[in-house]
């Protein structure tokens, strides 16, 4: 399945500002998307643990299963801290 990945700030410096299309097997999770992305963009690896990941605008955990045609956004920490840490549960 095709996953569309958007990156921002430091993550965009690595993979670009334009959306990247990643081909994953059905049932792939956010974590497995991360593994694919870090293989394709090795400079992403040191950044990945600090990124929040949003799927269709909602911040999700690494274990989240991705659906086909999902829009995934890589969100570095914002000025007040990490979005993933501070978002309400």
Partner 1 sequence: MTEGHASPVRASLTEGPIDTAAATDAVAGATCGAVVVFLGNVRNHHGGRTVTELAYSAYRPMAQARLEQIVTELEGAATGLRVAIVHRLGVVPIGEASVVIAVASPHRQAAYEASRTALERLKREVPIWKRETYDDGSATWREEEALAPA
Q: Which residues pair with 9 in a beta bridge?
A: none
**Quick one: 49 or 80, whose CB is closer to partner 1?**
80
**Quick one: 18 or 25, whose CB is closer to partner 1?**
18
* Cα 6 to Cα 26, 70, 84, distances in angstroms: 20, 11, 16
Residues 20-39 that bind partner 1 (CB under 8 A): none
Shortest distance (Å) from residue 85 CB to partner 1: 9
Give the contacts of 68 (CB within 8 A, at least 6 positions apart).
1, 2, 3, 26
Would you tell me which residues interact with partner 1 (CB under 8 A)? 6, 8-10, 12-13, 50, 54, 57, 73, 75-83, 86-88
């Amino acid at each position: 399945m095709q996953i569309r990945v958007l990156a921002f700030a430091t993550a965009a410096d690595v993979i670009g500002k334009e959306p990247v299309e990643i081909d994953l097997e059905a049932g792939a999770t956010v974590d497995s998307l991360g593994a694919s992305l870090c293989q394709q963009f090795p400079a992403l690896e040191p950044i990945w643990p600090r990124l929040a990941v949003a799927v269709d605008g909602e911040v999700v955990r690494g274990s989240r299963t991705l659906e086909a045609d999902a829009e995934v956004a890589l969100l570095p920490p914002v000025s007040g801290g990490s979005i993933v840490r501070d978002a309400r549960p």
